């Protein structure tokens, strides 16, 4: 890995954070082209790095070609905050006509990597993502070089890595979708290994190892209580919040809302939507809070942590936070676009499909995203 490349990423991240790139053209020239140069691409050879590459009646921002004139990677560039589902649809339409192995959608800050030949929705065909501001510069360089380095594209190693990583993400998503049912089955049994582990921990804590049947009864009761809690959650929520049918369309003036598995709740703020989503996912999957910070954390802070102090390091008094099931803490002090992004990533970690299993409406303002978050898929 090039140390200079990591320094370039840090410099670009500062510029993006300071608002130095004010349009799609400035992002394309000041960020994307510079990154491609660091990756070894001959950016002034328009047969290799082809700008405004024509595909049918449309044009994609960059086609990275090998051999010259034959696209191996398509890169679509958007304004900051606009690399959303609409951009994904547009990019995949390009890929359908051209048949490229790798597609990249970026607004300069966020980079999403897709395998067009994969299965499922656009989101399900994304195999990697990075954020130049939130992610460590070394990790960002590793991801960019893994798939987009000129030498790796020429040798076809970038494509092979993309296919392997897509397959790994797909298997993990399938595994995650079964976490809750497997966990309930282990508790209801209980599984001999779980019973042994529980008995051993009780013995270590108290000096007295419990009778096997007593321990098994306790574990089964916990499973029954968890199922009863989930079954009764609808009745509880109707007392706390207004529950309405899924709205056909949500406008900017409508209140923030969450539709989870077909049931819609309205809230007073985006922060309440964020809390509700993380509460639900953490309640369904005991390991969710552990996996989320392992996959998604900032350079100097965590958005989900065991200690509240880790959410806002360096601040004399911790900012807004919420205690999640299992003793974890969630940072809730962030702008609405960041809330949307964290919810999308939470869905990935938990194995839920954003836009189908989890649908949200959080007003995000006119300069960042003015999309209908209730229909994002």
pLDDT-based confidence at residue 24 (cuts at 50, 70, 90) = very high
Together in a domain, 38 and 163: yes
User: How do residues 101-158 score in pLDDT, each as one tens digit?
Assistant: 899 999 999 999 999 888 877 778 888 989 998 888 998 999 999 999 999 999 999 9
Per the structure, how many domains does the chain have? 3
Q: What is the mean pLDDT of residues 222-239?
A: 58
Give the CATH number for residue 143.
3.90.1570.30
Residue 367 lies in a domain: no
Query: With b meaning 16 or more CB within 10 Å and e meaning fewer, what string describes 187-225?
Result: beebeeebbeebbeebeeeeeeebeeeebbeebeeebee
- Domain termination site, one of 124, 158, 174: 174
Residue 195 lies in a domain: yes
More confident residue, 126 or 243: 126
User: How do residues 320-363 score in pLDDT, each as one tens digit?
Assistant: 888 888 788 899 988 888 899 899 999 999 989 888 889 998 87
Name the percent of the chain lying above pLDDT 70: 84
Contacts of 206 (CB under 8 A, 6+ apart): none
Do strands 102-106 and 304-305 pair parallel, antiparallel, or not at all (unpaired)?
A: unpaired
Residue 373 lies in a domain: no
Together in a domain, 223 and 255: no
Cα distance between residue 55 and residue 174, in whole Å: 34
Together in a domain, 225 and 323: no
- Tell me the average pLDDT of the chain: 82
pLDDT score recorded for residue 205: 84
Together in a domain, 162 and 202: no
Residue 105 lies in a domain: yes
Residue 24 lies in a domain: yes
pTM of the complete model beyond 0.75: no
Residue 97 lies in a domain: yes
Q: Which domain holds residue 280?
A: 241-361
- Domain termination site, one of 134, 156, 174: 174
Cα distance between residue 337 and residue 107, in whole Å: 14
Together in a domain, 205 and 329: no
Together in a domain, 137 and 18: yes
Together in a domain, 10 and 154: yes
- Domain termination site, one of 213, 233, 253: 233
Together in a domain, 336 and 250: yes
Please state the φ and ψ torsions of residue 314, each to the nearest 5 degrees.
Answer: 95, -10
For residue 149, give Cα distances in angstroms to 62, 145, 219, 310. 15, 5, 52, 35
Residue 349 lies in a domain: yes
Residue 64 lies in a domain: yes
pLDDT score recorded for residue 46: 96
pLDDT score recorded for residue 306: 82
**H helices, E strands: number in the chain:** 13, 13
Please state the φ and ψ torsions of residue 231, each to the nearest 5 degrees.
Answer: -65, -35
Together in a domain, 198 and 305: no
Give the CATH number for residue 296.
1.20.1380.10
**H or E, element range at 92:** helix 85-98
What Rg, from alpha-carbon coordinates, does the chain have? Answer: 23
Together in a domain, 55 and 161: yes
Together in a domain, 63 and 19: yes
């Amino acid at each position: 890995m090039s140390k200079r490349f990591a320094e370039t990423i840090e410099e670009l991240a500062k510029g993006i954070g300071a608002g130095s790139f004010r349009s799609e053209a400035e992002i394309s020239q000041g960020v994307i082209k510079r990154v491609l140069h660091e990756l070894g691409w001959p950016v002034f050879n328009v047969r290799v790095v082809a700008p405004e590459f024509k595909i049918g009646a449309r044009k994609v921002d960059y086609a990275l070609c090998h051999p010259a004139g034959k696209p191996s990677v398509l890169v679509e560039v958007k304004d900051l905050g606009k690399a959303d589902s609409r951009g994904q649809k547009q990019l995949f339409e390009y890929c359908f006509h051209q048949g490229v192995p790798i597609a990249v959608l970026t607004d300069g800050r966020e980079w999403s990597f897709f395998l067009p030949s994969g299965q499922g929705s656009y989101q399900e065909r994304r195999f990697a993502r990075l954020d130049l501001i939130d992610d460590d510069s070394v990790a960002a360089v590793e991801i960019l070089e893994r798939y987009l380095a000129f030498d790796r594209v020429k040798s076809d190693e970038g494509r092979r890595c993309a296919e392997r990583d897509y397959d790994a993400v797909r298997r993990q998503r399938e595994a995650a979708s079964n976490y809750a049912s497997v966990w309930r089955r282990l508790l209801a049994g209980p599984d001999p290994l779980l019973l042994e582990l529980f008995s051993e921990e009780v013995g270590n804590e108290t000096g007295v190892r419990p009778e096997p049947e007593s321990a098994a009864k306790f574990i089964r009761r916990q499973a029954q209580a968890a199922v009863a809690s989930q079954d009764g959650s609808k009745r509880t929520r109707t007392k706390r919040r207004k529950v309405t049918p899924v709205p056909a369309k949500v406008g900017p003036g409508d209140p923030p809302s969450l539709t989870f598995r077909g049931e819609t709740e309205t809230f007073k703020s985006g922060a309440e939507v964020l809390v509700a989503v993380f509460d639900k996912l953490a309640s369904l999957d005991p390991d969710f809070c552990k996996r989320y910070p392992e996959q998604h954390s900032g350079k100097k802070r965590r958005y989900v942590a065991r200690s509240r102090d880790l959410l806002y390091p360096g601040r004399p008094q911790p900012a807004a936070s919420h205690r999640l099931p299992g003793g974890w803490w969630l940072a809730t002090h962030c702008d609405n676009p960041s809330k949307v992004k964290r919810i999308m990533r939470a869905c990935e970690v938990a194995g839920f499909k954003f836009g189908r299993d989890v649908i949200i409406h959080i007003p995000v303002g006119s300069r960042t995203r003015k999309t209908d978050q209730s229909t994002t898929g």
